[in-house]
Amino acid sequence: MYNNRRNTRIMRASAFALSAAMLIGQSAYPVNASETTEESTESAARKEETVYVIADASGNPNKIIVSDWLNNETNEAVIEDETNLSDIENLKGDEEFSETEDGEIEWSAEGNDIFYQGTADEELPVTVSVTYYLNGEEAAPEEIAGKSGDITIRYDYENHEQRDVEIDGETNTLHVPFTVVTGFLLDEDVMSDVQITNGRVLSDGEHTIGVGIAFPGISEDLENPAYASLTKLAKAEVPDYVEITGHTDSFSWGTGYTLVTNELFTSSEADTTSFIDDVFGKLGGLKSGVGQIMEGVTSLNDGAGQLKEGADALAEGLGELTANNEALQDGAEQIFDGVLETVKDQLNEAGVPLTELNADNYETVLGLVAAAAQGEDKEKIEGAIEKLNSVKEFCEGVTAYTDGVQQAKDGADQLSDGAGELQAGVTKLLLGTGILNGAIPDLSGVPEALKETISLGEAYESYTGLTDGMSGKVRFIWKLEGIEG
């Protein structure tokens, strides 16, 4: 799943390339080749090669046919070409060639493009090996034809093109990067429940179309010290095989096509150097930014700890105050009750008996008594009312104070709890930032290694050879024999 998601865009491009390869495979040389080639800026002819590998069902090559197009953009009368082919045949014209003393061939082009083909026996840059399994047991292709059961077909690809490159003063061995795309088309009644590893399967209810993709050699290169920090970051798993599974009642397998190309790793129209520098420069900036965040979060963590300590101290102090609230309220009530009893006693001695006198009715009762009294008695009663009012106001103030202290205590408790949650959250943030900071390695050496890999892909332009000043492009199309059910 990871590989499928990671390579979706490349798979789409490769699927188009595979479709083109299948169409090309129906003829001995490219059709309308002039429509598929970019204009060259070289004065010499541009050489485009399509290498057809005719193999058995297991991937063993039986014949290698190379179709070459010498694009004579400058209308040269003679084109010199380097080749290791035998049985060379002009495909589209009657132009002839001769061998030169240095082993090259010389075409009498007379301003024309040259299309020719021949056979080769040179080692292929990427080889394909296909293994078949029936119900978990390996079997030869002819042994499973027409059989029923669970089928597994595994395509393994091996990259034989390696180069020594210098990175930061050290010699490293890297593969020339190739993309390998394998496609198949079969009827639903031939195989059901079809699944593919490192690829995509589509079905229209009657047919199953599958495309698998691999990058042989790249996974091995990622173990190279030059890529050590990148693999630590990405934990990349680059596929180097494709595996197809399904169930069949009578197994058969049609002719299969596999495209091998380095074109996805070339970028003649793009400035890959500045692109790589830009990308990894941003990654370097990311690491620097995470480091700054780390410092800020550390300071925030210290502040959160201090806030928690202050909130705890405040809550503790207010807790001590609230512990005295009840005693303060009781004391205030006792003072008021004492003054009220004194007033009652004084009035009783003066001949004014009052049995029901309390905090709720004293002002009304004593007001009536004062209204009926005269002279000095009236003044004493009114003074008693003022004294009781003052004491009552004091008692209410004590109550308000104790209520305020309780509210402050509740708020301090909430502040303490919130500060605790803040400290816990900041601690997690600090931990996460620390993990992120540690997970981003120093990638300073990776850009050079990546540039070297891309350069190796760009430099691989021909299977049969190029003369000085000639540019080229090459692709390999494997045609694997089918299995008749």
Residue 108 has pLDDT above 90, yes or no: yes
Q: Is residue 450 part of a domain?
A: no
Residue 366, CB half-sphere, CA atoms under 13 Å: how many? 26
Question: What's the pLDDT at 7?
Answer: 40
pLDDT band at 288 (very low <50, low <70, confident <90, very high): low
Question: What's the pLDDT at 295?
Answer: 57
Token representation of residue 95: 């132009």
Q: Which of 20-24, 120-124, 255-259 has the lowest mean pLDDT?
A: 20-24
Which one, of 232, 235, 126, 225, lies nearest residue 457 by Cα? 126
Question: What's the pLDDT at 132?
Answer: 96
Residue 22 has pLDDT above 80, yes or no: no
> 251 and 329: one domain?
no
Which stretch, 52-66, 267-281, 318-332, has highest mean pLDDT? 52-66
Question: What's the pLDDT at 390?
Answer: 74
Average pLDDT of span 122-148: 95
pLDDT band at 25 (very low <50, low <70, confident <90, very high): very low
Average pLDDT of span 373-398: 72
Distances (CA, A) of 471 to 100, 103, 451: 20, 19, 20
Listing DSSP states for 39-53 in one string gives PP--SSPEEEEEEEE
Q: Whole-angstrom Cα distance, residue 443 to residue 280?
A: 7
Question: What's the pLDDT at 442?
Answer: 55
Q: Is residue 455 part of a domain?
A: no
Average pLDDT of span 436-455: 63
Could you give the percent of the chain with pLDDT greater than 90?
Answer: 35
> 128 and 14: one domain?
yes
> Angle CA(238)–CA(153)–CA(477) in degrees, nearest 5?
70
Average pLDDT of span 269-273: 53
Domains in the chain, number: 2
E strands present in 160-248 = 162-167, 170-175, 179-187, 192-197, 199-203, 207-214, 241-248
> 359 and 256: one domain?
no
pLDDT band at 398 (very low <50, low <70, confident <90, very high): low
Bigger pLDDT: 308 or 340?
340
Q: Is residue 268 part of a domain?
A: no
> 130 and 203: one domain?
yes
Q: Whole-angstrom Cα distance, residue 460 to residue 455?
A: 9
Q: Is residue 277 part of a domain?
A: no
> 229 and 292: one domain?
no
H-type alpha helices, 68-204:
141-144
Decide if 265 contacts 13 (C-beta within 8 A): no
> Angle CA(428)–CA(429)–CA(432) in degrees, nearest 5?
85
Residue 311 has pLDDT above 90, yes or no: no
Q: Is residue 47 part of a domain?
A: yes
Contacts of 382 (CB under 8 A, 6+ apart): 370
> 309 and 251: one domain?
no
Which one, of 130, 152, 157, lies nearest residue 214 by Cα? 157
Q: What is the residue range of 143's domain?
A: 2-262+460-480
Question: What's the pLDDT at 379?
Answer: 72
Strands 149-159 and 241-248: antiparallel
pLDDT in tens, 312-341: 665 565 565 566 666 656 666 777 677 777
Residue 80 has pLDDT above 90, yes or no: yes
> 253 and 298: one domain?
no
Q: Is residue 359 part of a domain?
A: yes
Bigger pLDDT: 373 or 97?
97
> 62 and 188: one domain?
yes
Residue 113 has pLDDT above 80, yes or no: yes
Could you give the percent of the chain with pLDDT greater than 70?
Answer: 59
Average pLDDT of span 75-99: 93
Kindly compute the dihedral angle of the four CA atoms of residues 321, 324, 329, 331, in this order, to the nearest 10 degrees. Answer: -130
Which stretch, 57-66, 408-417, 441-450, 453-462, has highest mean pLDDT? 57-66
Residue 183 burial (10 A CB sphere; 0-12, 13-18, 19+): buried
> 425 and 467: one domain?
no
Indicate the length of the chain as a whole number.
485
pLDDT in tens, 190-205: 888 999 999 999 887 7
Listing DSSP states for 427-459 in one string gives HHHHHHHHHHHHHS---TTHHHHHHHHHHHHHH
Paired with 14 in beta bridges are none
Other Cβ atoms less than 10 A from the Cβ of 239: the count is: 23
Which one, of 433, 92, 412, 96, lies nearest residue 292 by Cα? 433
pLDDT in tens, 329-375: 666 677 767 777 777 777 766 666 666 777 777 777 677 676 766 77
Which stretch, 152-161, 245-254, 451-460, has highest mean pLDDT? 152-161
Q: Is residue 446 part of a domain?
A: no
pLDDT band at 300 (very low <50, low <70, confident <90, very high): low
Average pLDDT of span 23-43: 39
Q: Whole-angstrom Cα distance, residue 120 to residue 77?
A: 27
> 44 and 182: one domain?
yes
Q: Is residue 451 part of a domain?
A: no
Question: What's the pLDDT at 70?
Answer: 95
Classify 183 as helix, strand or coil. strand
> 247 and 320: one domain?
no
Q: Which of 66-70, 288-292, 422-426 has the lowest mean pLDDT?
A: 288-292
Which stretch, 30-39, 213-222, 282-291, 425-434, has highest mean pLDDT? 213-222
Classify 296 as helix, strand or coil. helix
> 326 and 465: one domain?
no
Which one, of 464, 475, 477, 461, lies nearest residue 46 by Cα? 461
Backbone angles phi, psi at 310, to 5 degrees: -65, -45
Q: Whole-angstrom Cα distance, residue 352 to residue 343?
A: 11
Q: Decide: pTM greater than 0.75.
A: no
